[in-house]
Amino acid sequence: MISLIVAMTRKGLIGKDNDLPWNYPEDLQYFKKTTLNKTVAMGEKTFLSIYNRNQKPLPKRKNVVFTFDKDFKCEGVEVSHDLHKYLQEYKGDDLFIIGGREIYREALPYCKYLYITFIEKEYEGNVYFPKVNFDNYKIINEEKLGELTFTVFERR
Ligand SMILES: NC(=O)c1ccc[n+]([C@@H]2O[C@H](COP(=O)([O-])OP(=O)(O)OC[C@H]3O[C@@H](n4cnc5c(N)ncnc54)[C@H](OP(=O)(O)O)[C@@H]3O)[C@@H](O)[C@H]2O)c1
């Protein structure tokens, strides 16, 4: 099963200068709880922003990085140079697409579930989630916590 997980404002903002525009520990905990022991797949830019913060890939998860760079190497990370081939042929356990914008846009058609944390406040930034027609999805779970709304959508 392929899913996507993202935090965004209601205007679709997801990033600022290759980082997150906000700091919500509750959302990081939700992200961890949801993806732990699963496969997480990300673009090279998102990987670098995680790696620079933690000095390592995401622990206790199989990390897959998409890049066109044939020389890209990192210990503990699987590399794919072809996102579409990887997702078309994927037969493993639960896989979460974890960003960023470019990878969300390309992977969206493959995702059955969208785990979206809506941030009920506006922030400054320059990276937006691709346009989604939410008519094609139904909400199967929704929980509110302070400024956050944890929502799970299932493709109809
Ligand atoms: N709010 C959230 O939940 C959230 C989550 C994740 C990221 N973000 C934010 O999103 C921003 C980064 O997004 P981004 O769009 O700039 O970068 P990105 O999606 O993380 O990475 C883009 C890179 O992925 C590789 N790539 C793209 N298509 C590919 C394909 N078909 N096959 C193989 N590799 C492919 C390319 O790497 P090469 O250039 O190396 O070839 C490309 O430059 C940051 O601001 C980050 O903080 C937010």
Say yes or no: CB of residue 66 within 6 Å of ligand 1. Answer: yes
What are the per-10-residue average pLDDT scores of the chain (156 residues)? 98 95 98 98 97 95 98 96 98 95 98 98 98 96 98 98
> Whole domain around residue 59: which residue ranges?
2-155
Kindly give the pairing relationship between strand 148-155 and strand 113-119.
antiparallel
Residue 80 CA: nearest ligand 1 atom is: 33
Say yes or no: CB of residue 19 within 6 Å of ligand 1. Answer: yes
Query: Whose Cα sits closest to atom 9 in ligand 1?
Result: 15
pLDDT of residue 85: 98
pLDDT of residue 103: 98
Ligand 1 midpoint to CA 47 (Å): 8
CATH value at residue 106? 3.40.430.10
Residue 68 CA: nearest ligand 1 atom is: 41
pTM of the model: 0.97
Asked whether the CA dihedral 150, 24, 129, 86 is positive or negative, the reply is negative
Number of domains in the chain: 1
pLDDT of residue 145: 98
Output the 3-class SS for the chain. Answer: CEEEEEEEECCCEEEECCECCCCCHHHHHHHHHHHCCCEEEEEHHHHHHHHHHHCCCCCCCEEEEECCCCCCCCCCEEEECCHHHHHHHCCCCCEEECCCHHHHHHHHHHCCEEEEEEECCCCCCCEECCCCCHHHEEEEEEEEECCEEEEEEEEC
Say yes or no: CB of residue 125 within 6 Å of ligand 1. Answer: no
